[in-house]
Amino acid sequence: MNEQRSTERLFFDEHQWATVEAAMSRIIPTDHQPGAREANTTGFLDRYLSGIEYVYAKPDGSGFEKLSGKRAEAWRQRIEGLRKVYTEGIAEMDRRSRELFGDDFRALTEGQQDEVLGAMESRSGMDEGEQEEHQVAAGYGAPEEEAEPAMQQTLNESDLLFFPLLVLHTRQGFYGDPVYGGNRDRVGWEVLGFPGPESMAEVHSGRYSTLPYFAESTDHGEEAADGR
């Protein structure tokens, strides 16, 4: 397994790491089950922002692909844009925290942090024109009216503002494959009740099957269960 175990920082400085971790822990809190903190979503994001070494896991989970040519150029450009959004977004979150509560975001109580995040979400500092320019991650329909229409198959991260981007990356780090450093010990899947494959290698080799979770009536199709 290639899961990231250390908390070695690759992109964020100590303060940025602690701020992002505090925010992600409010986006998917820890309750009777693990949350973003236990899943290591901050480490997941830090590694993503570190360059183009961790963009694509190898399909059998045995490391990461080396990017080259136009693809590598595109990813360098994309990651650079994302780094800027984070660097500025974290500073903005601290600025609002000091304005509202007189301290950095990481030092606030959970209730205060939620208020700051709520303010970041509503983007009250932007005029309507600016808001139109940007989209928020929506999926099946976030309550916001300006949300991207429901059910896009693709979601262009480069279009997102800091807060929806942070939410999206928290979800990616919580529910994505553990090979990327988040979803540590598959805690995200445990919360969902998704049994999932044991590893990417299980999917890659064709050993992984969801047939046990199909309907019980079995007229046919049984061959596929062990059909290798």
Partner 1 sequence: MAGKKKPERADVCIIGAGASGATAAKVLTESGLRVVALEKGPWRKPESFGGDELANANRYNLWPDPILNPRTFRHSPQEDPKVELFCPVPQMVGGGTVHWTGWVPRMTVNEFKQETIYGEVDGASLKDWPITYEDLEPYYDKVEWSFGVSGQAGANKYEGPRSRDYPVPAMRPTRYAQKFHEGCAALGYNSFPTPMAMLSRPHNGRRATVQSAFVQQHGDPTGTKSTALTTFVPDAVATGRFDLRSDCYVHEITVDERGRAKSAVYQDADGDFVEQEADVFMLACGAMESARLLLLSRSVRFPNGLANGNDLVGRYLTLHEYSAAVGVFEEEMYGWAGGGYVSGSTFEFLEGSQDNGFVGGSHVAAAGVGVPLPINFTMPDQPAWGQGMKDADRELFNHSMAVGVCLHDLPQYENRLELDESVKDAWGLPVARVTHKAHTNDIQQGRWIIDKNVEILDAAGAKKSWPVYIDRITGNASHQHSTIRMGTDPRSPSSTSGARPTRWRTSTPSTAARFRPRPGSTPP
Maximum Cα–Cα distance for the chain, whole Å?
Answer: 66
CB of 79 to partner 1, least distance (A): 11
- Of 14 and 228, nearer to partner 1 (C-beta) is 228
CB of 23 to partner 1, least distance (A): 10
* CB of 102 or CB of 227, closer to partner 1: 227
- Rounded least distance, CB 95 to partner 1, Å: 20
Please, which residues have CB within 8 angstroms of residue 46's CB and are 6 or more apart in sequence?
A: 9, 10, 11, 12, 17, 20
Identify which of residues 14 and 220 has a Cβ nearer to partner 1 in the complex: 220
Closer CB to partner 1, 12 or 44, in the complex: 44
Cα–Cα distance measured from residue 81 to residue 91, given in angstroms and rounded to the nearest whole number: 16
Strand partners of residue 160: 135
How long is the chain?
228
Cα distances (angstroms) measured from residue 227 to each of 196, 201, 209: 19, 17, 10
Smallest gap from Cβ 61 to partner 1, in A, equals 8
Structural contact between residues 173 and 182, judged by C-beta atoms closer than 8 angstroms: yes
Q: How far is 216 from 214, CA to CA, in rounded Å?
A: 6
